[in-house]
Amino acid sequence: MIEEEAEPEPRENAKIIGISGGIGSGKSTVSKFIEEAGFPVYYSDIRAKTIVNDDAELRERIKKLLGENAYDENGFYNRRYIGEIIFKDEQLRLQLNALIHPAVKVNFIKWVSEQKSDFVFKETALLFELKLNESCYKSILVTADDNCRLKRVMDRDQKTYREVEAIMSQQMPEKDKIKFADFVIYNNQTLEDLEVETRRVLEEIIAL
């Protein structure tokens, strides 16, 4: 009988800082600035894209939930097909998240155990929705006015106003996220302003 692999232990004393923000907020840009400042950043969404393809057990669970078409003819996670299904079915979306997020959690804890920094950062879109901020030392919310976010996503992804608006309507309102965040970075100005604000928040966190 093959024993199940135990979850790795988190690195002792590492302080986990959560980073989040709605679509078009600029959370990935803030995360890059933090990396450039010398701190490790775990990109949950990017990691998840790899895990759904590499984790054989997870693949089978996803197929059982969503059918064989959840993976394309080349055996890769069929993001467009799945996106269309779960966009229309909230219950199905929650069930899919319940499969993927535990696998990402195990991967994250292993990653933390490999880091040498006293501060590690975790970028995740659902930090507050899944209450992951409760297991973080501190949390950072990157936010911007709705009009700014809409325009950024329309320009970046070539989506229509209504398409972006529909995505935003499914996310937790910014005003609610602000209540939960320890630090808020407003991204309504220039890239230079965003970098300055990011470094200011970093200095505050390190000084705590």
pLDDT in tens, 34-46: 999 999 999 999 9
Q: So what's the pLDDT on residue 1? A: 32
Q: So what's the pLDDT on residue 5? A: 44
pLDDT in tens, 85-140: 988 888 999 999 999 999 999 999 999 999 999 999 999 998 999 899 999 999 99
Q: So what's the pLDDT on residue 8? A: 47
**6 has pLDDT over 70:** no
Rounded percentage of the chain residues whose pLDDT exceeds 90:
79
pLDDT in tens, 132-176: 999 999 999 999 999 999 999 999 999 899 988 888 888 899 999
Q: Calculate helix-pair angle for 79-88, 90-113, nearest 10 degrees.
A: 130
The predicted model gives 56-69 an average pLDDT of: 95
| CATH number, domain 14-40+117-208 | 3.40.50.300
Q: So what's the pLDDT on residue 12? A: 61
Alpha-carbon distance values, 4 to 1, 7, 11, 47, 55 (Å): 9, 9, 21, 22, 14
- Which secondary-structure segment (H or E) carries 31? helix 27-36
Sequence spans of domains, the chain: 14-40+117-208, 45-114
User: Using 50, 70 and 90 to split pLDDT, how confident is the model at 11?
Assistant: low
**17 has pLDDT over 90:** yes
**4 has pLDDT over 50:** no
Q: Which of 166, 172, 173, 174 is nearest to 87 (CA)?
A: 166
pLDDT in tens, 19-36: 999 999 999 999 999 999
Sign of CA dihedral 190, 191, 196, 197: positive
The predicted model gives 63-71 an average pLDDT of: 95
Contacts of 116 (CB under 8 A, 6+ apart): none
